[in-house]
Structure 1
Amino acid sequence: MDRPTLDELLEAVGEFLEKELLPHVADPRLRFQTLVALSALGIARRELALGEALAEEDRRELGTLLGREAPLGELLRTLAAKIREGQAPPGTFAFLKAHVARKLKVASPKYLERYP
């Protein structure tokens, strides 16, 4: 494997922003934008580490719920249509709760820690 890996590159940029740049940023607007960039790097690293596995969990669970196999996007559109039609299959709420939790593992894991 080539080094540095993508995750190592993202980590290095994050460390630079957090430890070298952020302590010297006095402008509140620029400080906020730097914090947003740090957050985006964290999301990118978690997506890289977890994204495929979480999407596969969604695809598998949703396929079971709907009783068919298809790409995740197609399954999500099918479920959305069923909900709009008032035909949500049993287990929809449990799936959606797990789906949102998987999304939060990438986007904001601290939220899940506060509100399990």
Structure 2
Amino acid sequence: MAQDRPDIDDLLATTLTELEALSAEATDDSRFRLRVCIHLLSIVRRELALGESNDDAERQRLSALLEREGSLEELNTELSARLRAGDFDARWQDVFDHLRQSAVERLAIVNPNHLRPEERR
């Protein structure tokens, strides 16, 4: 837990700003490599901001679907097994809604530009 400024998000934001400035001046090969670094650091920044809350939301949805508590990995494994067994054939809309929301939450971290504007955070 950060107690002093700059915090980790400030450090990442400053690093991204500097890399973007360098990218404008770089040669083609260097520019590409800088863009990759910028993209990766942007993912790290979003993961730090959203990852824990996304995991908590997914775990809550899975617990509601499966009617039990457990780790995210355990619940996803059980959902997969129960889907294969046909246990959710009558509740496909509930499963679809959960899977769609999980995909939106993952895209919000990996590449929010692929989301509709109202889905971006």
* Corresponding residue number in structure 1 for 2:106: 103
Contiguous gaps of at least 5 residues in structure 2: none
Q: Distance in 2 between matches of 1:96 and 1:64?
A: 13
**Higher mean C-alpha deviation, range 98-107 or range 29-38:** 29-38
Q: How many residues align?
A: 114
In the alignment, is the contact (CA less than 8 A) between 2:19 and 2:38 conserved in 1?
A: yes
In the TM superposition, what are the counterparts of 1:68-87 in structure 2 within 5 Å? Answer: 68-87=68-87
Q: Aligned residue for 2:51?
A: 51
1:18 counterpart residue number: 20
State percent identity of aligned pairs: 36
After TM superposition, give the deviation of residue 31 of structure 1 in Å.
1.6
TM-score (normalizing by structure 1): 0.88
Q: Distance in 2 between matches of 1:78 and 1:30?
A: 45
Larger RCO: Structure 1 or Structure 2 (Cα < 8 Å, ≥ 6 residues apart)? 1
Please report the RMSD computed on the Cα atoms of aligned residues, expressed in angstroms: 1.8
Shift of residue 104, structure 1, vs aligned partner: 0.9
Q: Counterpart amino acid of 1:37?
A: C
Match of 1:2 in 2: 4
* Aligned-partner Cα distance in 1 for 2:86–2:118: 29
Q: Deviations over 1:1-44 (max 9, x none)?
A: 1221111111111011001x1011113x3222211111111111
Change (3 A) 1:33 1:114: farther
> Tell me, which stretches of 5 or more residues in structure 1 are unaligned?
none
Q: Secondary structure at the match of 1:7?
A: helix
1:9 and 1:97 mapped to 2: Cα distance?
A: 32
